[in-house]
Structure 1
Amino acid sequence: MYHFFAEHENIHDSYIDIVGSDVNHIKNVLRFKEGDKLLISSGDNVDYECSIASMSDEYIRADILSKDEQGKELPSRIILFQGLPKADKMELIIQKAVELGAYSVVPVAMKRSVVKLDAKKAKAKVERWNGIALSAAKQSKRSIQPEVTEVMTFKQALEYAGKLDKLLLPYECAEGMEKTRKVIEEIGHGESVGIFIGPEGGFDRSELDEAVNAGCEIITLGKRILRTETAGMMLLSVLMYNMEE
């Protein structure tokens, strides 16, 4: 069943109006007809199974058949703080992070990041990244639309993460999988988690010191060195497996 999102003002007691670019996609790309079923999410972990009642050039009206207030989200919010990688790796990272249940993704300009974005380029990138996040949310039938925030400095990212319950930072020189297992197993139901992943060059020593002072747990992901586009996915997968209800 195809999945779409609707704004709260377009969700009514018995029907939902779909507006914007999705109208053309449903009518002219998917070629849906009246009576066809859709899955529509409100963006706050509520899903609606609907049937198309009528279509126009401006909107599509879908009757609500059933409502699922449980949604498909993890019981904990996981935020990925990703050091800016080279080339188009960020697009893959965002796509997979959304599929694996990340609540949001924060691009972080770190000392060893090769990519340097000025304000204009950063704005365009973030717009594109949010489009990728939305597509991934639809494909994986998420009940929310995970956000990709503006690019932050490492200091800004740590301040932003200060509101979270647990902060994890995988580091290649860290040792002891037993500690990693213990830290992950001790994450309580509903506790929010921040994951800090370095760019290709890893973390600068000063960044590690700042992270520890901010309350980050330095952990290992094993004896093998993982690429920046792999490390976050690996940790997100483990957290999803442990948290999934």
Structure 2
Amino acid sequence: MQRYFAENIEDTFLIKEDDFHHITRVMRMKLGDEIYCVNSNQQTARCSIENITENEIEAKVVQWVEGDMELPVTVTIVSGLPKGDKLEWIIQKGTELGAHEFIPFIASRSIVKWDAKKSDKKISRWNKIAKEAAEQSHRAVLPNVSTPVSVKELIKKAAEYDVKIVAYEEEAKLGETANLAKALSSLNKGQTLLAVFGPEGGLTDSEVELLMENGFIACGLGPRILRTETAPLYLLSAVSYHFELLNR
């Protein structure tokens, strides 16, 4: 059954714009068809389409649905701006794996230079990708993709998090294997994790040192060197295993 994030007023959801088009033109649904709707309070309901106008659908709640599809800890992924569509891949797959937020990071070795003039269009596209992935994977949380930040802005924001890690390939080359496990073990359900990943060329020594001076733990991600678009997915999979499978 299709799932949509929508405005909720009492026992009615109002569906507009892209989702309206998807329901009426792509899925070709009609009155009486059922969908899942999620409101801004992360509550999910099974709904029946009751009315279709020229630009809006009214869906009535049939049953509120219980169930927690979210990771037990809140994970924010910080990615050094990569080339091409790699960040879109990270956002899409990271959302499917349970990420709560994505923060692009203007790293020293980022080949892509951030164009502020095109920022609104880019950020809108990234958030649309996150929304579609959240609906596809039956999330109750709609991940946010923020405007790219500098290292100073990142450090300031990091003060809000319970645990902060930075994936550093030099640690992996040296055979470091314990820090990630220790970091995850130090987290309790409901706490927050901020994870930083470099762009294609990796993070510079000075960037890592600065992050570590501000409370970040440098972690290797196993013995293999991972691509910039693979490393965040490794981390999210490790979080899921640790909190959702290992401790059941």
Matches within 5 A, 1:59-98: 59-68=56-65, 70-98=67-95
Answer yes or no: is 1:214 the counterpart of 2:211.
no
Separation in 1 of the partners of 2:66 and 2:213?
Answer: 39
Judge conservation of contact 1:168–1:218 (CA < 8 Å) in 2. yes
Q: Which residue of 2 aligns with 1:173?
A: 170
Tell me which stretches of 4 or more aligned residues in structure 1 moved more than 4 Å: none
Separation in 1 of the partners of 2:224 and 2:19?
Answer: 44
When the two chains are superposed, the root-mean-square deviation of aligned CA atoms in Å is: 1.5
Change beyond 3 A, Cα 1:237–1:43: farther
Matches within 5 A, 1:28-177: 28-68=25-65, 70-174=67-171, 175-177=175-177
**Deviations for 1:189-216, whole angstroms, at most 9, x for unmatched residues?**
1110000000111111111111001110
| Runs of 5+ unmatched residues, structure 2 | none
**Deviations for 1:23-43, whole angstroms, at most 9, x for unmatched residues?**
222112211011111010114
Q: Which residue of 1 aligns with 2:22?
A: 25
TM-score in terms of structure 1 length: 0.93
Separation in 1 of the partners of 2:201 and 2:238?
Answer: 24
Task: Output the amino acid matched with 2:237.
Answer: S
Give the number of equivalent residue pairs: 242
TM-score in terms of structure 2 length: 0.92
Task: Output the amino acid matched with 1:87.
Answer: G
Cα deviation for residue 77 of structure 1 reads: 1.2
Judge conservation of contact 1:83–1:198 (CA < 8 Å) in 2. yes
Separation in 2 of the partners of 1:199 and 1:3?
Answer: 33
Greater alpha carbon shift after TM alignment, 70-79 vs 147-156: 70-79
Same amino acid, percent of matched pairs: 37
Greater alpha carbon shift after TM alignment, 102-111 vs 57-66: 57-66
